[in-house]
Structure 1
Amino acid sequence: MRKRFAFVIATAGLLAGSVTAGAHANTRGPAPAPASTKEGTVTAAQLLAKVQGCSQISSGKYRTDEETSATVPVCGANGAVFWKADMDVDCDGQVTSRCNGDTDPWFQDDTAFHQSDGKPLIADKLPYVVVPSPSSTWDYRQAGIKGGGVVAVIYNNKVEYAVVGDTGPNKIIGEASYATANALGIDPDPETGGAESGVTYILFKNSSVSPIENHGKAVSVGDGLAKQFVQNN
């Protein structure tokens, strides 16, 4: 899948690529085995049954990529917001052998939200989701969504819990980290991977994981919130 951040090639992405070039040349290597196919006790079917309809809370709709039309609304539910889109792979954050300026032409060495030590997140290690930057279409902050908030990501009958870890373009939606894609069995290559459709993102309002990099905590908190979501919707 073509990465959506083509417009940053001439700015931060290109600079990051030049910094990392040479030191990480051709070190992409095979992806690690997916961490799981189902996290927690709530099934994909149970969650999907609660997001069949859409009570739209965004003022407009989002594109899934630069060249597509705007067809994806942000929907409201009891205790959560959700959308159904594609998945582009975000490799931004700390430089690793799989996420750097050579493996990802649009690589940026920072994320909107940081680890407890102040460093950017690690995309090929931490499952995280990218939310659109605030705009007149929708402002995630006003919906009770924040950095470190818990997200249930569903694809091909699998559930992966992630955190809100980065922000993206304000007109585009549908992106998650290398680790999220890999755990769901989606090709995590930041340049050619991703999923064209069929991904559901359920973001739980007023939730948080601290420290943000503790994936085990995201799973335990997420499972509890998912149970409430299924019961209350």
Structure 2
Amino acid sequence: MRVQSLTLAVAGAALLAPTTLPAAAVPPREGPLGHGGGAVTATPSREGPLGHGGGAVTAADLLDRVRACTQVSRGRYRTDDGARATVPVCATRQAVFWKADLDVDCDGRPTARCNRRTDPLFSADTAFQQSDGRHLNAETLPYIVIPVQSGIWDPPAHGVRGGSVAAVIYRGRVQYAVVGDTGPRELIGEASYATAHGLGIKVDPRRGGAASGVTYIVFRGSRVTPIEDHRAAMAEGERLARRFVGAR
């Protein structure tokens, strides 16, 4: 697998962030993972019909809706430096999605688990910032990394921006997250330490991650404000996922 890439913070913020985020309604979580730190996994069983106040949407529900690919990217992405470009960005009316690996992004505010000692390519910047102006916390906030806008794909043209809501799926688990960072223009398949933790993926930014089998679904036109409010991202993700799996 490729090593987690340096953040293209300036380029991503300029191209993808439409406005400054408003003041935080809920303070960001700072605690360690496993102690209210923010990463959770949504895998409860159904208890009623989807779309009618029933149980949570499952990984199988979501994967069933992304079996076929209508490609919207002009080209394909590589998952690793030197690999062949094999990953298209696909779309439905309600979402865009891709299937790739997961490299662990530790970029953002330095923490006990994400810093220059634990990650040789650590960057203290993220393309998008919290409502208080600070960079995101990869250790506690589930976020995904999207390629910077390029001739391959234009995320804003498909309703994908900083704060957009995503569902990340791996081995039967669903982790709701936000778009929180941008990466190299030709690479795809990266998410924060907290996202990997929530999916049960090894979180070491140097030797962790998943080599394949990760599905990223981003709901078009969605946005969590403030971006650091993970509880809001979970609630909005469940709502949008329920609508997504009910659409035919």
- The TM-score bracket by the shorter chain reads 0.7 to 0.9
- Detail structure 1 runs of 4+ shifted over 6 Å in the superposition: none
Percent identity between matched residues is 55
Measured in 2, the distance between the counterparts of 1:218 and 1:47 equals 17
SS of aligned partner of 2:169 = strand
Q: Normalising by structure 2, what TM-score?
A: 0.82
Question: Can you give the 5+ residue segments of structure 2 that lack an aligned partner in the other structure?
Answer: 9-31, 45-54
- Corresponding residue to 2:84 among 64, 69, 73: 69
SS of equivalent to 1:160:
strand
Matched, 1:36 2:51: no
- State the partner residue of 1:48: 63
Give the aligned residue type for 1:77.
Answer: T
Corresponding residue pairs, total: 211
CA displacement at 1:37 relative to structure 2: 4.9
Is the Cα contact below 8 Å between 2:109 and 2:136 reproduced in 1?
yes
1:207 aligns to what? 222
Q: After superposition, what is the alpha-carbon deviation per residue over 1:78-137, rounded to whole angstroms, capped at 9, x for unaligned?
A: 210000000000000001011111100110001000011010000000000000001100
Structure 2 Cα separation of the partners of residues 123 and 198 of structure 1: 22
Structure 1: 5+ residue stretches without partners:
9-30
SS in 2 for 1:70: coil
Matches of 1:136 and 1:90, distance apart in 2: 24
Q: Distance in 1 between matches of 2:72 and 2:7?
A: 28
SS in 2 for 1:56: coil
SS at match of 2:91: strand
Rate the CA distance shift 1:104–1:57 in 2: closer, same or farther, 3 A. same
The residue number in structure 2 matching 1:222 is 237
- Contact 1:88/1:193 (CA < 8 Å) preserved in 2? yes
Map Cα deviations across residues 12-62 of structure 1 (whole Å, 9 max, x no partner): xxxxxxxxxxxxxxxxxxx84463352771000000000001000000000
Alpha carbons of structure 1 residues 204 and 37: separation in structure 2 relative to 1, 3 Å: closer
1:125 match: secondary structure: coil
Picking from 149, 155, 176, the partner of 2:170 is 155
> Counterpart in 1 of 2:158?
143
Partner of 2:52: none
The residue matched to 2:131 in structure 1 has which SS?
Answer: coil
The letter for the 2-side match of 1:165 is G
Q: Work out the CA distance in 2 between the residues paired with 1:64 and 1:143.
A: 21
Determine whether 1:116 maps to 2:152: no
The CA deviation at 1:231 is 1.1
TM-score where L is the length of structure 1: 0.87
Residue 4 of structure 1 deviates from its aligned partner by 4.1
Asked whether 1:190 is paired with 2:195, we answer no
Separation of aligned partners in 2, 1:35 and 1:84: 21
Contact 1:37 1:184 in 2 (8 A): no
- Go from structure 1 to structure 2 and tell me whether the alpha carbon gap of 1:148 and 1:6 turns closer, same or farther (over 3 Å shift): closer
